[in-house]
């Protein structure tokens, strides 16, 4: 249903578009698309709202693959993989902070999910016997990562988008969501700016599903797309929904030096090795059993330590060497990696090693949800990287993120389909008021006089986050960083974009993104400072040991009277008891 409220509307809302759907899905990546398909197939009226065209979502950049215990490639001892072994590797890799009921569910669903994508049209790479190919990934006891060369996310995203087009599911593309709207403790939709016109729209729904991805762009060295600004997490925080485990930020070991474009873990899965400036295969010092295929937190710390101790190359990088794999294998299995290296580093991996350094890659934390994706607010759900369900705990294994997006995109949609029957029609009056409030906010921002560059603030924030909340963390340094973030928040509250137009005002959109990013940066900072231990991706040089007695628990952060308030809740165990990780 589509309703236009004109200038003579009795409430005074000027030329505002109000749209009604049963379900609004915010985000057009793999999670959002898969959820939209499930909602549509159930007969509900669902729609996707995305700030970019779905094929520009960050899911398209996922290279390496999707984990599933198909057992198409046996382990080193000839044994076959199982969902239980997949779950064990996931929990162990998470440094035991993952909720094991959610992990079990994901790993049990993995095989069917890979086959489902194949039947929809995803073209997986194949073994000589015709079965779906699988390769080793870090922290995995078996070669279980299914892949489509090194463009797995690209293939899967195009597949799901084709299915969305086939079903004629509405997609509001290039709409930036500005607020979640609530009525009597229930989420009833959202407001959004139509970027091309600057018009504020209202989206009324019984249910909202957040599927907005990560927040990697709060760091200055990141593999994330420019759109990964934590919009969903910031919207949830403003609504009063807790964010969970936000201090756990993954740094990928191998990003291209100078640009931080991802160099897939698949490169090491195919046999690539890491070499320092002395020509040493240094991972034998840090993970003698798994070497270059240790979990990402282990490899990233090892590379950073090599660089800090003077065994990196000038400028701060080491080498990823693929030359021994041979031209045919590189061209077949890693064509995208080769092209990126040639285009952006003027290096052909067939002949020369690739310069790499760690960079921010993934957000283990996110919107606090229970196993079915529900939040504390009826009508609001979340899934994918923007949510913390929590299947990744303190460190995500490569190949589990694509899996999570599609598995929980479908499962959370199933929960929505069930729950929506109990929800009444929302009141449109609250949406009209919310739209007017956003219009007033935009008017106030554009009416400010202080026109200093907001991009300098964003640059300072990203530099502060990487330098003071990066791979290695220290309490005193982080306290300094938090003070800097608070100063940036205060400064931004007085600034205004230089562009005062409403239509196609990307500076305004980036201003609104930055407001949310600074909130997310504060949450990450507060959680990292309070967690006085080292676990997974969170490495404190002043607290180097894991502390299960005090910190085997999730961090919850809420916004109270303008400040971040922290609390904790227990991790769900069950299958595997915490023990020391050895690699």
Burial call 166-183: b when 16+ CB within 10 Å, e when fewer: eeebebbbbbbbbbbbbb
Pairing of strands 249-256, 354-363: antiparallel
Query: Quick check: 250 and 363 in contact, CB under 8 A?
Result: yes
Residue whose structure tokens are 């094929």:
55
- Residue 528 has φ and ψ, to the nearest 5°, of -70, -40
Q: CA 202 to CA 74: how far, in whole Å?
A: 53
Cβ distance 121 to 33 under 8 Å? no
Nearest to 64 by CA among 132, 147, 139: 147
Distance of CA 256 to the CA centre of its chain: 20
The conformational region for residue 574 under phi > 0 = left, psi -120 to 50 = alpha, else beta, is left
Instruction: Report the DSSP beta bridge partners of residue 225.
Output: none
Q: Which helix (H) or strand (E) holds 225?
A: none
Catalytic residue from among 56, 221, 296, 540: 296
Please state, in angstroms and rounded to a whole number, the distance separating the CA atoms of residues 256 and 262: 6
Report yes or no: 415 and 579 within 8 Å, Cβ to Cβ.
no
Distance CA 192, CA 210 (A): 14
Does the N-terminal peptide bond of residue 390 adopt cis geometry, omega within 30 degrees of 0? yes
DSSP state of 219: S
**296 annotated active-site:** yes
Quick one: residue 356, left, alpha or beta (phi over 0 = left, psi -120 to 50 = alpha)?
beta
The C-alpha atoms of residue 329 and residue 346 are separated, in whole angstroms, by: 20
Q: Where are any strands of DSSP class E within 416-501?
A: 472-473
CA atoms in the 13 A half-sphere facing the CB of 575: 21
DSSP code string of 490-536? HHHTTB--S---STT-HHHHHHHHHHHHHHHHHHHHHHHHH--S-BT
The partner residues of 145 in beta bridges, in order of sequence, read 67, 135
CA terminus-to-terminus distance, the chain: 56
User: In angstroms, how far is CA 401 from the centroid of its own chain?
Assistant: 8
d(Cα 300, Cα 294) in Å, to the nearest integer? 10
Give the H/E segment covering residue 341. helix 335-345
For strand 207-210 and strand 200-204, is the pairing parallel, antiparallel, or unpaired? unpaired
What residues are annotated to the active site?
296
């Amino acid at each position: 249903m589509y309703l236009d409220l004109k200038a003579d509307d009795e409430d005074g809302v000027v030329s505002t578009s109000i749209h009604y759907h049963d379900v609004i899905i915010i985000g057009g990546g793999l999670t959002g698309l898969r959820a939209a398909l499930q909602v549509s197939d159930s007969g509900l009226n669902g729609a996707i709202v995305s700030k970019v065209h779905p094929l520009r979502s960050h899911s398209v950049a996922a290279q390496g693959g999707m984990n599933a215990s198909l057992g198409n490639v046996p382990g080193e001892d000839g044994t076959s993989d199982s969902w239980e072994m997949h779950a064990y590797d996931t929990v162990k890799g998470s440094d035991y902070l993952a909720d094991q009921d959610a992990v079990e569910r994901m790993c049990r669903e993995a095989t069917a999910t890979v086959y489902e994508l194949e039947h929809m049209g995803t073209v997986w790479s194949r073994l000589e016997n015709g079965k779906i190919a699988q390769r080793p990934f870090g922290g995995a006891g078996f070669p279980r990562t299914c892949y489509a060369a090194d463009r797995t996310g690209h293939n899967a995203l195009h597949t799901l988008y084709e299915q969305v087009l086939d079903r004629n599911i509405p997609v509001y593309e290039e709409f930036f969501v500005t607020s979640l709207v609530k009525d009597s403790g229930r989420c009833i939709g959202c407001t959004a700016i139509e970027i091309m016109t600057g018009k504020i729209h209202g989206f009324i729904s019984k249910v909202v599903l957040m599927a907005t991805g990560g927040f990697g762009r709060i760091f200055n060295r990141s593999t994330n797309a420019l759109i990964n600004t934590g919009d969903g997490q910031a919207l949830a925080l403003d609504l009063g929904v807790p964010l969970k485990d936000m201090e756990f930020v993954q740094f990928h070991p191998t990003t291209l030096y100078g640009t931080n474009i991802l160099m897939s873990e698949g490169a090491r899965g195919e046999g690539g090795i890491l070499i320092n400036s002395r020509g040493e295969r240094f991972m034998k010092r840090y993970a003698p059993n798994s070497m270059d295929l240790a979990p990402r937190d282990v490899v990233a710390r090892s590379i950073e330590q090599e660089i800090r101790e003077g065994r990196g190359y000038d400028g701060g990088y080491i080498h990823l060497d693929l030359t021994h794999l041979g031209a045919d294998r590189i061209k077949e299995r890693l064509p995208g990696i080769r092209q990126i290296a040639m285009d952006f580093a003027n290096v052909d991996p067939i002949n020369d090693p690739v310069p790499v350094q760690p960079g921010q890659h993934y957000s283990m934390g996110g919107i606090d949800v229970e196993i079915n994706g529900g939040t504390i607010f009826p009508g609001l759900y979340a899934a994918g990287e923007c949510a913390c369900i929590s299947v990744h705990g303190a460190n995500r294994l490569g190949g589990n993120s694509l899996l999570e997006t599609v598995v929980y995109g479908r499962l959370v949609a199933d929960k929505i389909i069930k729950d929506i029957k109990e929800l009444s029609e929302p009141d449109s009056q609250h949406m009209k008021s919310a739209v007017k409030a956003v219009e007033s906010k935009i008017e106030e921002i554009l009416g400010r006089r202080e026109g200093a560059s907001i991009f300098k603030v964003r640059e300072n924030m990203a530099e502060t986050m990487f330098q003071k909340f990066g791979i290695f963390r220290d309490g005193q340094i982080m306290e300094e960083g938090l003070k800097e973030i608070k100063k940036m928040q205060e400064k931004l509250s007085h600034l205004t974009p230089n562009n005062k137009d409403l239509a196609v005002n990307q500076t305004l959109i980036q201003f609104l993104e930055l407001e949310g990013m600074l909130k997310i940066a504060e949450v990450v900072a507060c959680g990292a400072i309070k967690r006085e231990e080292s676990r997974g991706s969170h490495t404190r040089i002043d607290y180097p040991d894991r502390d299960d007695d005090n910190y085997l628990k999730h961090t919850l952060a809420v916004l109270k009277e303008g400040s971040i308030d922290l609390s904790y809740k227990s991790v769900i165990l069950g299958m595997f008891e915490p023990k020391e990780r050895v690699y």
